[in-house]
Chain A
Amino acid sequence: MINRGNYLRSPLTVFMLTLICSLVVLLATFFSLCVGWVLSRGLYPILNALVTTVFGLIGFISGTKGVWELSVKMSKNEEKTTE
């Protein structure tokens, strides 16, 4: 039987990890927004706003997916360690 939770035992540690992951998502979104804004700066204002928003959304979605995959990988590593 897999004895889960021996490696990252503290709920506080896990909270900090979740918080860091969420902050990474926030930063990824903001970075993508900035990239979108820089790339579309010369365009018509509405197009500029739309391209910036789409880039922001892409950043948010890929950031969220990325941190989920990271958490899956971490939990698998932990299972291997404690097996």
Chain B
Amino acid sequence: MNLLIMSLIISLISFILIYAVTPSLIKKFGEIGLIVPDVHKSDADLIPTFGGIIILSGYALAVILFILQPFQIITLDISFKISAALLTIILIGLLGGLDDLKPIRQRYKFLLPACFSFLIILACRNQSTSVAFPVIGSLGFGIIYLICFIPLAITTASNFTNMLAGFNGIEAGSGFVACAAISIIGFILGKFEVVILTLPLAAALLAFLRYNWYPSKIFPGDSGTMMIGAVIASAAIIGKIEVPCMIVLIPHAMDFTLKLLNRRPFSQRQIYGNTAIHQNGILYPPPYPALLHMPLRLTKLTEKQLVKNVICLEVAFAVIAIIIAILIY
């Protein structure tokens, strides 16, 4: 119970901090020119970006407060794992921040998060290397889990959440749902290291959503989107809840796969341009495959309706993930 109270306190700190600090930073980022056009509006206003750094700072501060708390309510091993995960998350968030300032090549966004995951590999070297699947049971991956599965999970999850983005509130909204669901799974299964990693981020994203919701006053940028994936993957590995976390990320994975399977992966936006906006804010998708283009091809949707659609889809998968977690663990 102490752990639950402690994780609620740090989440509250993370929420209050981000809720209070964001308005002044929106102004500051605007002044120093960290702005990008809001491409899905007919007048394409310039909106401050780089909000992910605010989320990362609030989140990191909350988790560090937990690690440094004097009550010794967690073992040294769990403390080490959380610290390793936090360091990886910070590095990935900073990589995203660098991408916000000066665009970096997609290949580096794949390679570097995998390299940063060595800290998690180090922290988890003594834990089980099997993954529990529904019906099938546990599959032992042996050394492959450490040298392939962990780097691949960290890098793919960071890029999954980075891809399903670009509309007001979609990143913070879907990230909030995913992190809240994983926190619930961690709580139900009694894996408090998972709750400590994901609940402060859920709180941070909820506070940020207040400013990121349609019409956005700030965007999270790659620093925000990449760190969401990094947190989910770290929680999955440290808490050994890989399959429920994979299920939570299915909408993101579908979007990523559709973009990957194209003739020119991940560069379709440069070729075809952004989603077009017609009268009354109706969106018309460009002709390349993406998850968000599926509903847009079938009906007339505004940006707000599309984002609500995706968040509802995320909620559905979150519920499935919670049910499966209860069934298999």
Q: How large is the interface on B (under 10, 10 to 19, 20 to 34, 35 or more residues)?
A: 20 to 34
- In the assembled complex, the CB of B243 is this many whole angstroms from the nearest CB of chain A, namely 10
- In the assembled complex, the CB of A35 is this many whole angstroms from the nearest CB of chain B, namely 11
Interchain CB contact under 8 A, A14 and B298? yes
* Chain A residues within an 8 Å CB radius of B305: 11
Interchain CB contact under 8 A, B299 and A13? yes
Q: How large is the interface on A (under 10, 10 to 19, 20 to 34, 35 or more residues)?
A: 35 or more
**In chain A, what residue has the closest Cβ to B310?**
A18
Per-residue contact bits, chain B 283-326, to A (CB 8 Å; 1 contact, 0 not): 00000010000110111110001000100110011001000000
Interchain CB contact under 8 A, B136 and A75? no
| Known A45-B140, A49-B139, A64-B258; contact A14-B295, beta-carbon cutoff 8 A | yes
Interchain CB contact under 8 A, A49 and B141? yes
- In the assembled complex, the CB of B156 is this many whole angstroms from the nearest CB of chain A, namely 11
B261 at the interface (CB under 8 A from A): yes
B254 at the interface (CB under 8 A from A): yes
Give the complex CA separation of A22 and B289 in angstroms.
15
Interchain CB contact under 8 A, B140 and A14? no
B68 at the interface (CB under 8 A from A): no
Interchain CB contact under 8 A, B139 and A22? no
Give the complex CA separation of A23 and B254 in angstroms.
11
Per-residue contact bits, chain B 249-271, to A (CB 8 Å; 1 contact, 0 not): 01101100110010000000000
Interchain CB contact under 8 A, A75 and B297? yes
Please provide the chain A residues from 1 to 45 with a CB less than 8 Å away from any CB of chain B in the complex: 4-5, 8-11, 13-15, 17-19, 21-22, 25-26, 30, 33-34, 37, 45
Interface residues of B (CB under 8 A from A): 131, 133-136, 139-142, 144, 247, 250-251, 253-254, 257-258, 261, 289, 294-295, 297-301, 305, 309, 312-313, 316-317, 320
Ordered by A's residue number, 7 sampled pairs between the chains whose C-beta atoms are within 8 Å are A4-B300, A9-B300, A11-B299, A25-B250, A45-B139, A61-B257, A67-B294
